[in-house]
Structure formats: C-alpha cells, structure tokens
Amino acid sequence: MGQAIGQMLPTAVGVAVSPFPIVAMVLILATPRGRVNGPAFIGGWWLGLAIVGAITLSFAGGASGGESGAPPNWVNWLKLVLGLLLFAVAARQWQSRPREGEDAAMPKWMGALDSFSPVKAAGAGVVLSGLNPKNLLLAVAGAVAIAQAGISTGQQVAAYVVFVAIASIGVAAPLGIYFALGERSQQILEAMKNWLARNNAVIMAVLLLIIGVKLIGDAISGFSA
C-alpha cells in the first residue's frame, strides 16, 4: 500500500492546495451560519471525492496488469490523456491570472454564500471536490495510481481514504483555525482568502503543469515497458 500512497501523493497535494475551495470555506465561515455550514461544506467535499474514487476504482480495478507487473496499455493512455488535459487547464489558468493592479475575479456564486443553507453548503463541497474540472482530473489520476499498484480492494480503499485525508487538508485548515481561535480567526482567514484569491491562477497553473508532466512521463515509461 505504501507504493500506492507514494504514487497518488502529488495529486492529493494538488487537490489540497487548490485555492478556490479554501477561499469558499473561508467565505462560508464568515457568514452567520458559518459554524454549521463549514462542517457541512467539508462533509460535501469528502462525499464528492468519495464518489469520484468509488467510480474510478471500480473501473480501474484491473489496472495492475499481468504477471510482469506492468499496467495494461489503456492505463498508460488514460495517464497520457489526463496529463495533456492538465496541460490545457494549466495554460488556461496561466492566461486567466490577474495582471498587475487587477483584482482577482471571483465566481459569482460565492457572493450568494450568505444565504446558503447547510444542504447548499454541502452541495458546494461536492461540486468543488468532485465536479470541478481541475480537482476531478487530479482525483481520477490519484485513484488510477492506487488502482494500478497491484494491491487488494481493501488496501485500495484504505489508500484512497489517505488520499481524501491529504486532499482535505486545505479546506480543513480554515475550519480548524475558526473553531480553535473563534473571533480572533477572522483576521487570519481574511488574509488567507485575499492571498489565495490573488494567486489562485499561478498556483494552479504551476501545480497542474508539474503533475501533468509526471503523468505523461509515467505513460511514456509504461509504453516502453
């Protein structure tokens, strides 16, 4: 299982440091219902990742290959496609970065967070973890890396639980700060939100480029095996 965790670690970290979900959590915590909606949001976040993992692992369960230990060719093709898609998303992120003196553009739905119920907050968590294109690609890549490690189903599930735990560090951090510091957390969370919103595009462009290179390199190595 250690090999599976090692292979999926970069993608889990990529999900963990995705700025917009962290910004969404900070904004949710600043609303009157933050004490309820914050935990609801992270619950939805876990659910979204769990759904992606369950679907991917069920389809990629035979990815460990034959006696040689090499993954089947379709896994290499999937990694290649995922890598190229991450390249495309990275390029789009880089082009959308705010220029000097410009404010970072925020999704319009974030302005409605004040009126969110716990159910809507949970739904936002599901969307940002399991349906957001960047995180979806990373979660699928992480689950594929686990599936091809040649471990049992129980170990695959355990490894994916570790993936979810690591991928949730980013959105869990503001929640932990909020409950640990109470009202004193507002200044810290506001500074975190502003920095992440301003640097979102650059952070994600660099991360997606690095992970895309790794996936394409793994695919090329698989084709050569």
DSSP per position, 66-96: STT-PPPHHHHHHHHHHHHHHHHHHHHHHHT
- The model's pTM: 0.82
Kindly list the averaged pLDDT for each block of 10 residues, start to end, along the chain of length 225: 87 90 91 93 97 91 53 79 90 79 66 86 94 90 88 91 96 95 88 82 86 87 76
34-59 vs 118-126: helix axis angle to the nearest 10? 30
Alpha helices in the chain (DSSP H): 2-16, 19-29, 34-59, 73-95, 118-126, 133-147, 153-167, 169-181, 185-224
Distance CA 117, CA 9 (A): 33
User: What pLDDT score does 208 carry?
Assistant: 86
Amino acid letter, 184: R
What are the residue boundaries of the structural domains of the chain, listed by start? 2-224
Q: What is the pLDDT of residue 225?
A: 63
